[in-house]
Amino acid sequence: MAKELFAIFGNPVFHSKSPLMHNLAFQDLGFDACYTRYLLENGEKLKETFFTLGLKGINITVPHKEHAYNACDVLDPFAKKVGAVNTIVEKEGKLYGYNTDAPGFLKAISEFKEVKTVLFLGAGGTAQSTSTILRDEGYKVTLLNRSSPRLEKYKKEGFKTFTFDDFIPNTYDLIINMTSAGLEDDSLPAPKEILDGVIPKTKACVDVIYGKETPFLKLAKTHAKPTKDGSDMLLYQGIIAFDYFTDHTYTFDAIKDHMQKAFSL
Ligand code: NDP
């Protein structure tokens, strides 16, 4: 059988850790495949590009997760529910779509015990799939966002939502930064006064941004709170994607042993 080809599609995509993660696992587990990155500028061309490049599977990152959803012939029920696909596998000419971000995130926060209430800072694409899986699992999710338009969808789905102007604070077991604030700048995801009001009463603070200590996590530490960045979320979404790519050939822990080396190189 010819070597199978995989890729990550995104714009930008050069910074992605996925090629390293997947290639380490392919190599160490002896699976004859190779994973590369592809700068996809026009999301409408996702399907055409997939077949032109002769790929077996892809991951999809910003800003193409909705395009990926539209490109699939068969959708996993959870991906269908949230409208976002970050993993596609080709089988007999058909594209099968999955969302591994949300289960990856769920596993990443499972180390925090006795958590029932969660405050999301942000209401973008990542918040969409992760809030849904948390609710499915019985967590109570409140969303606090800078502006109101993105909150409309959540409100309709029955989530409690606030902007900075109308926020009524409560006690939350976990506070999670779901925004890109702090990714390429030094901004907090919400005004400091709001954060200083809710952080002291929480059990821990989590950020989906990885590879750096964000201003949000720095602030959480000044309140002596446990913190966690987005590295495990990235690792776990990758392991679950790899499981689909290799058709459930390996155990989660076997994939993890090899894939996590990408974080120490
Ligand atoms: P979106 O562009 O869909 O949403 C961005 C959100 O951030 C919006 O709610 C926006 O608010 C808010 N926001 C942006 N800048 C600021 C700011 N300066 N202050 C306050 N709020 C701000 O982004 P995504 O959901 O795709 O990504 C969010 C983050 O998740 C990114 O940092 C990304 O790197 C990270 N991520 C991590 C993953 C992992 O594996 N660890 C996987 C996927 C994403 P508004 O509506 O007002 O504009």
* Digit-coded pLDDT (tens) for 13-34: 999 999 999 999 999 999 999 9
pTM confidence score = 0.95
pLDDT of residue 265: 79
Using a pLDDT cut of 90, give the percent of the chain over it.
95
- Our answer on whether the CB atom of 215 is closer than 6 Å to any ligand 1 atom is no
CB 11, CB 241: distance < 8 Å? no
* pLDDT tens column, 140-184: 999 999 999 999 999 999 999 999 999 999 999 999 999 999 998
Distance 178 CA to ligand 1 centre (A): 5
Q: Which of 65, 113, 153, 256 is catalytic?
A: 65
- Does residue 125 register a pLDDT over 90? no
Is 180's C-beta closer than 6 angstroms to any atom of ligand 1? yes
Instruction: For residue 65, indicate whether it is catalytic.
Output: yes
* Average pLDDT for 92-114: 97
Phi, psi for residue 201 in degrees, rounded to 5: -95, 0
Segment 183-209, tens digit of pLDDT: 989 999 999 999 999 999 999 999 999
**pLDDT band per the 50, 70, 90 thresholds, residue 1:** low
Q: What is the mean pLDDT of the chain?
A: 96
List the residue whose alpha carbon is closest to atom 16 of ligand 1.
Answer: 181
Name the residue at shortest CA distance from atom 41 of ligand 1.
230
Q: Are 60 and 88 in contact (CB under 8 A)?
A: yes
Q: Is 181 in the pocket of ligand 1 (CB under 6 A)?
A: yes
Span from the CA of 47 to the centroid of ligand 1 (angstroms): 26
Q: Has residue 233 got a pLDDT over 70?
A: yes
Q: How many angstroms separate the Cα of 51 from the Cα of each of 5, 36, 47, 174? A: 11, 15, 6, 42
Residue 234 beta carbon below 6 angstroms from any ligand 1 atom: yes
Minimal-distance CA residue to ligand 1 atom 15: 181
